[in-house]
């Protein structure tokens, strides 16, 4: 699909950094998305039902801006203006009422996302584009719970959002061409590289990535090699910046499991069946970096990679 766009940006409040954007969900992805839009000049409302999560998100954005400041990539004035562009709300109807674009960035749970989209559709203004940051769930399925399926689109950012350039732009069955063109152009104005794809399970990134991670877990499960050996082979042999098991920990093992289930259900192909080891680790609450242990153990303040005792 051709990613080029010849649309006229004049008069479109979303293009040129003049628009109002709401982000639903103040977790890792949501605060990163809010950061990027606010830094590009947009007025952003960050929405989460949990007030303490909103405060953690603001703290994270502030810390990430300080990191950019220390590297000389932004000025103190840019930091101040970015923070000034962000407001918070714990109520969806209040948080989206003035938006030209709403981006849902909740956890990768189908029922939760459908519920949020029903509310977004109810309270967002007519003509507002409704986007989801889902990494695997059908855009067409999400759009079906709204009365504006032509204005629903996937906008899958990569983690960490302020650093990673890629945005997968996913068209649902009914997504209007002008909506796709607007979101592609908008992504470019954020300094991102958009790749437009069609609506199939896992899109591109996770359709390719998750089977690789699953196979790495199977290799550990079957005793082919240990954690360090598997990751070292992929880092040195395939020039990956981190091995698949470390990457799985970084993504979250619960997220990996959820995506694999979407792939398995969507394609009906047993090759996507999640490894039993992955299933058991998630059931045990060993979710990777966010829980403190996955294939590796994570100690606050330490960057050392220490393999979990379970795999030594």
Cα–Cα distance between 88 and 52 in angstroms, integer? Answer: 11
Annotated catalytic residue within 40, 104, 151, 156:
156
Average of per-residue pLDDT values in the chain: 95
Catalytic status, residue 293: no
**DSSP helix, strand, coil percent of the chain (3-state; round to 5):** 50, 15, 35
Catalytic status, residue 151: no
Annotated catalytic residue within 104, 108, 168, 293:
168
Q: Both ends of the chain: CA-CA distance in Å?
A: 46
At the top level of CATH, the class of 205-311 is mainly alpha
Catalytic status, residue 135: yes
Q: Where in the chain is the domain with CATH 3.40.50.720?
A: 20-198
pLDDT digits 0-9 by tens, 269-296: 999 999 999 999 999 999 999 999 999 9
CATH superfamily of the domain spanning 20-198: NAD(P)-binding Rossmann-like Domain (3.40.50.720)
What is each CA distance from 260 to 76, 177, 201, 255, 268, in whole angstroms? 43, 30, 10, 9, 11
Catalytic status, residue 62: no
Annotated catalytic residue within 64, 136, 138, 206:
206
Q: pLDDT value at position 13?
A: 77
Q: Where in the chain is the domain with CATH 1.10.1040.10?
A: 205-311
CB burial class (10 A; 0-12, 13-18, 19+) of residue 135?
A: buried
Q: What global pTM score does this model have?
A: 0.91
Grade residue 111 by pLDDT with cuts at 50, 70 and 90: very high
Sign of CA dihedral 282, 285, 287, 288: negative
What is each CA distance from 140 to 99, 114, 120, 137, in whole angstroms? 22, 11, 16, 9
Q: pLDDT value at position 4?
A: 39
Annotated catalytic residue within 135, 187, 214, 258:
135
């Amino acid at each position: 699909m051709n990613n080029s766009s010849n649309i006229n940006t004049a008069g479109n409040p979303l293009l040129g950094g003049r628009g109002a954007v709401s982000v639903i969900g103040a977790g890792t992805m949501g605060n990163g998305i809010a950061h990027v839009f606010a830094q590009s000049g947009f007025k952003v409302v960050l929405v989460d039902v949990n007030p303490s999560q909103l405060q953690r998100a603001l703290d994270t954005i502030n810390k990430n801006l300080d990191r950019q400041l220390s590297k000389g990539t932004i000025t103190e004035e840019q930091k101040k203006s970015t923070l000034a562009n962000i407001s918070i709300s714990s109520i969806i109807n209040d948080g989206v009422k003035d938006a030209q674009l709403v981006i849902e960035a909740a956890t990768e749970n189908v029922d939760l996302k459908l519920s949020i989209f029903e509310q977004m559709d109810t309270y967002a203004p007519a003509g507002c584009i409704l986007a989801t940051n889902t990494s695997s769930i059908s855009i067409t399925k999400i759009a079906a719970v709204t009365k504006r399926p032509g204005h629903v689109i996937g906008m899958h950012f990569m983690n960490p959002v302020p650093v990673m350039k890629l945005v997968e732009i996913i068209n649902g069955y009914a997504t209007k061409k002008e909506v796709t063109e607007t979101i592609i152009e908008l992504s470019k104005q954020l300094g991102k590289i958009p790749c437009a794809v069609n609506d199939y399970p896992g899109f591109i990134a996770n359709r390719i990535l998750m089977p690789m991670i699953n196979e790495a877990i199977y290799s550990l499960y079957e005793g082919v090699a240990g954690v360090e050996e598997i990751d070292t082979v992929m880092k040195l042999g395939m020039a990956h910046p981190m091995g698949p098991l470390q990457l799985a920990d970084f993504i979250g093992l619960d997220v990996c499991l959820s995506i694999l289930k979407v792939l398995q259900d969507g394609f009906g192909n047993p090759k996507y069946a999640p490894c039993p080891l992955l299933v058991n680790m998630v059931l045990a609450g060993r979710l990777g970096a966010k829980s403190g242990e996955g294939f590796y153990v994570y100690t606050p303040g330490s960057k050392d990679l220490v393999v979990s005792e379970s795999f030594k």
